[in-house]
Structure 1
């Protein structure tokens, strides 16, 4: 079967018309673009759409400008291969904040989620014999008894400790949960010239922080370790079996250019268990129609209240006058005036690329320049004509969907040292011959994504450096060479996978930056390291969603509380705008 490989590069522009023909076209309004609005939102990523919906519900006239032909940013569905709909960047849902879900009535506006259970599957490349029993894989889900049985294959001690570990994580998340829905502590207001109202808000945030920390109680030590220690230290403290530790370690490094041995990697693990779906804590699910349906449901809410959303409108610069944002200029030269500008772009794009060069103080420019966007991710979207068949847990029939097909499938993740090795390769400018792979098959639950009997397979792989060694670049040859290595690894676990491939879409870090505007290819709009979180996201001077340029706000994942399809940054930025309108009449 002919393999259709899509590597859209600047050297291959002929692919673009074909791509657009088969993209999932999301509905936007059919209004004409006007010359002025109350608010302009730069970028129709999910956070920008959340901001637009909240503001429009307040009767504020909002215009959203998206440079691509489709809305959603990284939460987007695209029909890259005809008949197969891919969640092209982000691929599973859990972190969307319940308040956003409720306030914007997203179920009413079309959001449907298929809950996954089990959640995680780690097949072993070679079966292990433990106490006379043959062990081939580890499967984890929401059923505590089944988890104990699965982990007990490797260690009865770990089976019991896992219950305690999950309880600790749940308590920590519950204590910190309010911080995700509140503005961060903004320390500069205590010594800068600011209103009493701002100082009071800062003191209130400080009280909230102390309240959350106090609520940790006996888990304070565990929380401190999660924030500061390497994931390996934490996991070694709790468990003894490597397949379990390695499975958990993937959540500590996913999307981050760190290894399980990096101090602070425990926080990334914590970040990925902070979500819930349908009131179920820690649950993950697939969105019907792909992740673009999340963005579309938010857009539907905004449009229903009168918002204006336009695609193929690339913003070239932000207009300023007397240190105040007064509008934007599109790439075609069109000027659109506005009293408020919200940017869903990364901090680098917002403050260093779109603003005139003299708008920010030099020291702030330097701080923003130092914000880290290191990314290890290459996303590969694959169309296949049959469900993978894993040696560890063979299918009941040729194309039968097994419970483990609905999980996040961890490949080359049986030992934490293997993950560290792939990281060290990337730090030298190389990609490993055994990359860390998270495979998901959303069509195992959602029949709308692929033809009958066929499937979409989404591969989130690490570690791939942005810059390759010896001056090499991510050209078509390098992309395909890496993808072939990934497929070879999958073939080792699921023979026949390569023959089932109909087409593939390869997105290296530079591609993620070019296509989705993700600086450095970082899916979080900036590394989720301790020095770039909460009151330091993106910097201490810019952590309150505002900027020194009056009327300009940051609403994307580069603001608190950070990355993932959460919607929290968009809601908090919109709330800040609403407060400022009331106070200053913006």
Structure 2
């Protein structure tokens, strides 16, 4: 290593909210921590690069981020401007025409509205009951997982888990046994139709459950994805008036974590972009950047694993089996992103007479019923892409006016489904953008006329920025005993990394918002604290 290298206890690679949580906890524990930037795959594709002159999207949560009050309090984020109760937790599910829409949140910033409870009280009661039953079922799975013997072969683990799960369920009430059987055998469509009456609610839950995957909602067993979605959102009852997941822009959270990090002594070198990971006998030693070398015995990465292992590590240092495993990560997931500059906000027909700025601050979903979701999937299978995809919309400039430029709003759309591995050509980009914006325009007739410019993000640029959103796309596997675990530890992500001193807490500034990566930054910091000592204490 160079004598001029800067030395630290921990290097954080990539600026995401998971990695900043790790950085803060470790710095508070006395570790010297350095944050450096990951390479930018494509201009405009990342949260902090312009996709239009002067216009950035900032990090967006197209999947909601559970907020852990313990972490918020221990890092004292309220002191740095992040008051969890005052942040945007709103979700709006668009309905057809003037049909009742689903909205849960605070349109005026104060009064709480829950249209599910108002228009469909039976559905809302069932939603709360389902959350409670799933929490109980998850505890059964956790008990099975924690009591598993140290089998060395995966096959024996699976066999043991099946019998042990059956034994645990046999001691519980019939309701829990039936729920488990339904989740394992029913399609998502069948489960939602059996449990809920409101079409808009069914569409909303279906889309959120399978966002980021090519799961067929009619596939047997796909109901399990609803269970994973509900449990991954945290311990509080879904859509209650208690602390709810963060939706929409996550810029306020990132600002608070950064300011807390500075106060805790984290060294931010975000002008330094990593060009190579330095290894010695499979031990992490440091990173080489375009401004110099930084060394440390530990690396915590919050970037896409394919960038980390295939772009930044000398290929001669990677075993062929591991390289194949990373290369085969299923990033081709059937959904595509479009960033847009808007001269006016969308005027949704179902919101007629209401101020759109009050209702569009969080996450807006266009999947008005389960049939809409199914049609999008069927068209993709038969025609290579959906003419009217399901759409997740975030307008981050409504939460953070600093993201506006020259009176233009920034908007991020994710459309699903599209043919996986769709070639990243100019023609396909235009066709995809037209299909996604047309889907919005069906419900907000001014939308396409409001678009000043757009940037479709697909192919490698998409994979290496937004990346995996769904649990079936993560680098590790989720065995039976873990598919309902809401408190996954860092071991769920690449438990058998061939390099000592390297951890992965997320997949980038926005995909680390994935609810299925809940608190990974915290868990890794806790693990490091238990197994290492800062150099000052050594």
Report the TM-score, using the length of structure 2 for normalisation.
0.76
Q: Judging changes above 3 Å, is the alpha-carbon distance between structure 1 residues 45 and 431 closer, same or farther for their aligned structure 2 residues?
A: same
Q: 1:474 aligns with which of 408, 414, 424?
A: 424
- What are the superposed Cα offsets for residues 74-128 of structure 1, whole Å, 9 maximum, x if unpaired? 9945654456552455357542333322222222223255555763332215xxx
Helix, strand or coil at the partner of 2:127: helix
| Contact 1:383 1:457 survives alignment (8 Å) | yes
Q: Could you list the runs of 5+ residues in structure 2 that have no partner in the other structure?
A: 106-111, 154-163
Alignment of 1:76-91 (within 5 A): 76=47, 80-82=51-53, 85-87=56-58, 89-91=60-62
Alpha-carbon RMSD across the aligned residues, in angstroms, is 4.6
Q: Displacement of 1:237 after TM fit?
A: 1.8
Please tell me whether residue 141 in structure 1 is matched to residue 93 in structure 2.
Answer: no
Distance 1:171 1:576 in 2: 30
Q: Judging changes above 3 Å, is the alpha-carbon distance between structure 1 residues 527 and 188 closer, same or farther for their aligned structure 2 residues?
A: farther
Equivalent residue number for residue 258 of structure 2:
299
| Contact 1:78 1:88 survives alignment (8 Å) | no
Distance 1:211 1:582 in 2: 40
Alignment of 1:502-513 (within 5 A): 502-513=452-463
Q: Judging changes above 3 Å, is the alpha-carbon distance between structure 1 residues 373 and 98 closer, same or farther for their aligned structure 2 residues?
A: farther
Please tell me whether residue 532 in structure 1 is matched to residue 478 in structure 2.
Answer: yes
Q: 1:423 aligns with which of 377, 381, 393?
A: 377
Please tell me whether residue 150 in structure 1 is matched to residue 127 in structure 2.
Answer: no
Equivalent residue number for residue 310 of structure 1:
269
Distance 1:173 1:222 in 2: 12
Distance 1:541 1:160 in 2: 39
Please tell me whether residue 234 in structure 1 is matched to residue 210 in structure 2.
Answer: no
* More contact order relative to length (CA 8 Å, sep ≥ 6): 2
Q: Could you list the runs of 5+ residues in structure 1 that have no partner in the other structure?
A: 1-32, 126-134, 152-158, 193-206
| Contact 1:77 1:87 survives alignment (8 Å) | yes
Q: Judging changes above 3 Å, is the alpha-carbon distance between structure 1 residues 175 and 110 closer, same or farther for their aligned structure 2 residues?
A: farther
Q: 1:489 aligns with which of 436, 439, 442?
A: 439
Helix, strand or coil at the partner of 2:339: strand
Q: Displacement of 1:40 after TM fit?
A: 1.6
Equivalent residue number for residue 216 of structure 2:
259
Equivalent residue number for residue 76 of structure 2:
105
521-530 or 232-241: which moved more? 521-530
Equivalent residue number for residue 569 of structure 1:
520
Report the TM-score, using the length of structure 1 for normalisation.
0.71
Q: Judging changes above 3 Å, is the alpha-carbon distance between structure 1 residues 233 and 85 closer, same or farther for their aligned structure 2 residues?
A: same
Q: Displacement of 1:328 after TM fit?
A: 2.5
Q: Judging changes above 3 Å, is the alpha-carbon distance between structure 1 residues 79 and 374 closer, same or farther for their aligned structure 2 residues?
A: closer
Q: Displacement of 1:416 after TM fit?
A: 2.0
| Contact 2:35 2:269 survives alignment (8 Å) | yes
Q: Judging changes above 3 Å, is the alpha-carbon distance between structure 1 residues 528 and 265 closer, same or farther for their aligned structure 2 residues?
A: farther
Q: Displacement of 1:235 after TM fit?
A: 0.6
312-321 or 213-222: which moved more? 213-222
Length, aligned pairs only: 501
Helix, strand or coil at the partner of 1:575: helix
Q: Judging changes above 3 Å, is the alpha-carbon distance between structure 1 residues 55 and 544 closer, same or farther for their aligned structure 2 residues?
A: farther
- What are the superposed Cα offsets for residues 541-582 of structure 1, whole Å, 9 maximum, x if unpaired? 875856342222222259xx9934966111111222222215
Distance 2:140 2:311 in 1: 33
Equivalent residue number for residue 505 of structure 2:
555
400-409 or 338-347: which moved more? 400-409
402-411 or 98-107: which moved more? 402-411
- What are the superposed Cα offsets for residues 250-296 of structure 1, whole Å, 9 maximum, x if unpaired? 11111222232245544443444443699955734457xx4233223
Equivalent residue number for residue 16 of structure 1:
none
Please tell me whether residue 377 in structure 1 is matched to residue 346 in structure 2.
Answer: no
Please tell me whether residue 459 in structure 1 is matched to residue 416 in structure 2.
Answer: no
